[in-house]
Structure 1
C-alpha cells in the first residue's frame, strides 16, 4: 500500500514539473511571436527579457501548486500583477489559469467557496470600474466577460473535474463497503451453518454414543456370574445393545457426511414426529421404561417445527438415559395454538443444571429460533424438559 502511494506521489510531482516546463516553453514561443502587451494594447516593449523573468517566476511558482495550491495561487497572482504592469504576456496568463484550475481541484471545500466568491466580486468589480471609467455599457460587459474568462473558466473546469473525482471515489468506497458487507454476510451464514451442523451432530449421535457408554460401563462394572452360560448371555445382551447403538450412530454419521459431500438436502430425510415410534423403540431396547403420548392423527406440520420437535424429544431422552435414574420416562406432545413438548424422567444426581450443557443449549436454540420457549429443571424429584413452539413457525 505504501509503495502504491509513493508511486502516485512521484507521478504527481512529475506531472507538476512537466506542466511548469511546458508552460515555460509555450510562453517563450508566444514571446518570440510577439504576443505581449495583453493589457496595453498593441504597444510592444523593446526589451522582452522582463517578460522572460516574469514567465520564469510564474513557472517556478507552479512547482508548488500540488503541495500548497492556495499559497502558489497567491504568489502567482503577484507575479501576474507585475507582468500586467509591464503590459502583460500570454505565457504568464496561461500559468495563472493553471494555478486557478489547480486550486479549484485541490483546496478544501470552504476555500473553494471563498475562491468562487472572490472571483465573482472581481468580475463584478471590473465591470463596474469599466463602466465608471468609460460610461459605455458595451465596454463594461466586454471587461466583465474577459475577467470571467480569466477567473471563472479555470475555476469551473477544476470544480467539475473535482466533482467527478469525488463521485468516482464515493462509488469506489460504496463498492468496497458492499464487498465487505457481502463478506460479513457470508461469514455469518457460515457460522450459522456450523452451529446448525453442530446441533444436528450432537442430536443425532449423543443418544447412541451414550447408550454405548452406558452398556459397556454396566457390563464392565457388574460382577461376573459364576454360571458361564449366564455370563455369556449377559455379555451377549450388552454387546447386542452396544452394536445396535453403534450401527445407528454410524448410519446417522454416514447420512450427514453424504449431505455435506453433495450439498443436496433432498437426499436426506429430516427426522419428523412421525418417527417417534422408532425412536422410542430404540430407547426401550436400551432398557428405558418409556411412555409416549402423541396424537394419533398428527396434522401436516411445517418442516422446521416437525424436525425441531423430534430433535428436542431425542435429546431429552438422551439426557434421561445419560443422567437420569432408572424409572418411568414420559413423553407428551400436545397440539393446540402451539405445540407443547414435555419429557419427564427421574432426576439423577448428575442431572445438568438448567442453562448448562450442550444438549440443553441446542434444545433451547431450536425452540427459540422458531419463536418458542424452553425450560428444563427439577420438579418434584423428576427432571422436566418443556418446550413450546408456535405451529405457524417456519412457514
Structure 2
C-alpha cells in the first residue's frame, strides 16, 4: 500500500509539474506574440537604445516564465522573484507578457502560500494601492491620473489576490465537505461494527443460557452413572431420565433460537418466559435439585425483555447450583416500586471456592450481569451468611419504568 501511495504521489507531482511548464510555455508564446506585433512599452518608456529594441522585452518575459515553473511548490519565493522581474520590465516600459506572468504568480501565492502570508499580502496590497494613488497625486497634482494609477495597481495586485483567495476558500470548503463525508462513512462503519459486536454478544449470551445448563446436566448425570456402575437400576434410570429431560429442553431451546434467527426477530421481544418457571423448576427437580419458588409477580404485565432476562437469570443460577451446590434452593421474583427483583439463594456449596473460579470460567455470572445492566438494572453475586451457614446469593434488580 505504501508503494502504491508513493507511486500515486509521484504521478500527481509529475502531472502538476507538466501543467506548470505548460502554463509557462503558453505565457511565453503569448508574450512573444505581443512583442512581435509591437505591444510593448505600455508604460510610455523605452530602453533608450538605438534600433528596434522591442525584442529586449523577451528577456524579462523569459525570466518570469522560468520563475512560473516553481510557483506551485515555492509560491512566495516565486512571487518575490517575479516582483523584481516585473519591476525591471516596468522600468523598461512594460510588456503585456510579463504582466500576465506576474498576474499568475500573485494568483498562485494567494492560492498556495500559508494563510498567514496571504493575510500579509492582502494587508500590503491594501496599503500599497492608496499609497501609490496619493504619491501620484502629490507628484502630478492630477486627481484623475492618481485614481487611474491606483486602479491599475489594484488590477495588477488586488484582482489576482482576491481571485486566488476565492478559489482557495472554495477548495477548503470542498475539502472540509469531503473530510466530513469520510468521517460520516467511518462513523457508519464503526456503528455497523458495533451492531455486529452487539449481535454476536447477544447470540453468545443466548446460546450459553439456552444450552449450557442442559449440557452441564447431561455431563453431570452421565458422569454419575459412569462412576457408579454397581448402583441400583432405579438410580441409573433416574439419571437417564434426567439426561433425556435435559436433552429435550436443550433441543427446544435450540429450535427456539434458530427460529428467532431465521425470522430476524429481536430476541429481547420473544415471548415472556417467567410463566414457564414451574416447568423450569420441574426440570431441575428431575435432575435432583430441590427448588422452592417463594413469590412471583403478575407475568402478563411485564415487558418482554425484562421477563426474559429474569427467566434467564433464574435459569443460570439454578444451573450453577446444580453443578456446585447442595441442599434446597430458594428462588424469589417480586415486583416492588417500579422494579423487578430477582433473588436466588442457594444451598450449601461444596468447598469454599466461589463459582467465579469454577470450570465455566465465570461466563454464567457475566451473562447474568450483562442481561441486568443492559436493561438499566444492577446485579450482585456473592456469599452470604444464613441461619444454616454460608450460602451463595444471586440478586438482580431490573427497572420497569425505562421499558415503557
State the TM-score, normalized to the length of structure 2: 0.91
**Which residue of structure 2 aligns with residue 280 of structure 1?**
281
CA distance 1:244–1:138, shift in 2 (3 Å)? same
**Which residue of structure 2 aligns with residue 163 of structure 1?**
169
CA distance 1:360–1:22, shift in 2 (3 Å)? same
Cα distance in 1, alignment partners of residues 330 and 355 from structure 2: 20
CA distance 1:180–1:263, shift in 2 (3 Å)? same
1:24 aligns with 2:28: yes
CA distance 1:268–1:244, shift in 2 (3 Å)? farther
SS in 1 for 2:373: helix
Of 368, 382, 386, the residue aligned with 1:363 is 368
> Residues 240-293 of structure 1: CA distance to partner in whole angstroms, max 9, x if unpaired?
221221121122123223333442348984452111111111111112211112
Is there any run of 5+ residues in structure 1 with no aligned partner, and where? none
> Residues 279-337 of structure 1: CA distance to partner in whole angstroms, max 9, x if unpaired?
11111111221111233644501222111111111111111111102x21111111111
Cα distance in 1, alignment partners of residues 174 and 240 from structure 2: 72
SS in 1 for 2:402: coil
Conserved? CA contact 1:342–1:386, under 8 Å: yes
CA distance 1:354–1:234, shift in 2 (3 Å)? closer
SS in 2 for 1:290: strand
After TM superposition, list the pairs within 5 Å mapping 1:55-204 onto structure 2: 55-204=61-210
Conserved? CA contact 1:305–1:393, under 8 Å: no
Cα distance in 1, alignment partners of residues 163 and 299 from structure 2: 76
Is there any run of 5+ residues in structure 2 with no aligned partner, and where? none
Of 372, 395, 404, the residue aligned with 1:386 is 395
> Residues 29-63 of structure 1: CA distance to partner in whole angstroms, max 9, x if unpaired?
11111111111179997312210111111111111
CA distance 1:121–1:131, shift in 2 (3 Å)? same
Mean Cα deviation higher: 50-59 or 34-43: 34-43
CA distance 1:200–1:267, shift in 2 (3 Å)? closer
The Cα shift of 1:353 comes to 4.4
**Which residue of structure 2 aligns with residue 320 of structure 1?**
321
CA distance 1:73–1:30, shift in 2 (3 Å)? same
Conserved? CA contact 2:47–2:53, under 8 Å: no
RMSD (Å) for aligned C-alpha atoms: 2.2
SS in 2 for 1:346: coil
Cα distance in 2, alignment partners of residues 43 and 362 from structure 1: 93
Conserved? CA contact 1:342–1:387, under 8 Å: yes
> Residues 39-91 of structure 1: CA distance to partner in whole angstroms, max 9, x if unpaired?
11799973122101111111111111112111111111111111111111111
Cα distance in 1, alignment partners of residues 272 and 9 from structure 2: 58
CA distance 1:114–1:268, shift in 2 (3 Å)? closer
Conserved? CA contact 1:302–1:392, under 8 Å: no
Cα distance in 2, alignment partners of residues 129 and 373 from structure 1: 82
The Cα shift of 1:8 comes to 1.4
Conserved? CA contact 2:72–2:108, under 8 Å: yes
The Cα shift of 1:15 comes to 0.7
**Which residue of structure 1 aligns with residue 334 of structure 2?**
334
Would you say how many aligned residue pairs link Structure 1 and Structure 2? 389
SS in 1 for 2:72: coil
1:3 aligns with 2:4: no
Mean Cα deviation higher: 265-274 or 302-311: 265-274
Cα distance in 1, alignment partners of residues 188 and 350 from structure 2: 48
Conserved? CA contact 2:346–2:391, under 8 Å: yes
Cα distance in 1, alignment partners of residues 90 and 347 from structure 2: 105
Conserved? CA contact 2:76–2:109, under 8 Å: yes
CA distance 1:43–1:53, shift in 2 (3 Å)? closer
Conserved? CA contact 2:270–2:304, under 8 Å: no
